[in-house]
Structure 1
């Protein structure tokens, strides 16, 4: 029985993964502290949960994802990358809600700025997938 090949990524992918993990940790800390109110503007009113609880839970999830992207061994890298990409897809409806309801938060105080923010979400998904070797040109660790 052969062992599966270890997932490989380039030094640039590794740097991008560490930056993404750091951004997630900072955003998660913001959910819990200094940006809590702004993040509440992204929680759709249609969710049957308290907005503050959603913000707190997603903050904890972001910190865990960020720490996992940075600290877990390479053999877990692609799994965590897939989970992070799925997380970005899962929170996308909140960004759409912010746009549709014209909620001002994070300096997104015009429809144009909120629309541009929507375009950034697929880039986060691609960043998570690429930096962990799930999308395109993985090389050597």
Structure 2
């Protein structure tokens, strides 16, 4: 259920990148990024839809998809930091406190992706195995 929930969340967020939330996502594109903001918003939306669908449908590859989702969440984190640093208001985040609290949720998304796909358990298993050798 947690894997399907994360997949649905990613699909919803990806669709919002491509439609009703597109303007709001501009607040998360760092001004120093040498790529057009629309390209970043659209491509990240497409990636989110693909990751969400993969989390729901690719049950045999769930650990790989979990790693991919976790890496994606790490890669988009600078956008959340940028929104905080530039004091950009979007998604109801209209204060530094609200934007700061939002920053704390990104690591939870990484953990959720790793946990619900079994990637976290596999990583721990591999480390224990390596320690024994």
- The TM-score normalised by the length of structure 2 is 0.90
Shift of 1:134: 1.4
**Runs of 4+ residues deviating >4 angstroms:** none
RMSD over equivalenced CA pairs, Å: 1.0
Q: Which has the higher contact order (CA 8 A, sep 6+)?
A: 1
Unaligned runs of 5+ in 1: 1-14
Tell me, yes or no, if structure 1 residue 115 matches structure 2 residue 122.
no
SS for the counterpart of 1:46 is coil
Structure 2: runs of 5 or more not aligned: 123-133
Q: Flag the structure with higher helix content.
A: 2
Q: 1:44 aligns with which of 12, 16, 30?
A: 30
Structure 2 counterpart SS, 1:89 = helix
CA shift, 1:53, in A, is 1.0
* Correspondence for 1:69 among 7, 30, 55: 55
Deviations along 1:39-88, one digit per CA (max 9) or x if unpaired, are 1110001111110110000000000000000011x320000000000000
User: What does 1:1-141 correspond to in 2, within 5 Å?
Assistant: 15-72=1-58, 74-136=59-121
| Secondary structure at the counterpart of residue 128 of structure 1 | helix
Structure 1 residue matching 2:28: 3-state secondary structure: coil
State the Cα distance separating 1:136 from its structure 2 match.
3.8
> Any idea what SS the aligned residue of 2:118 has?
coil
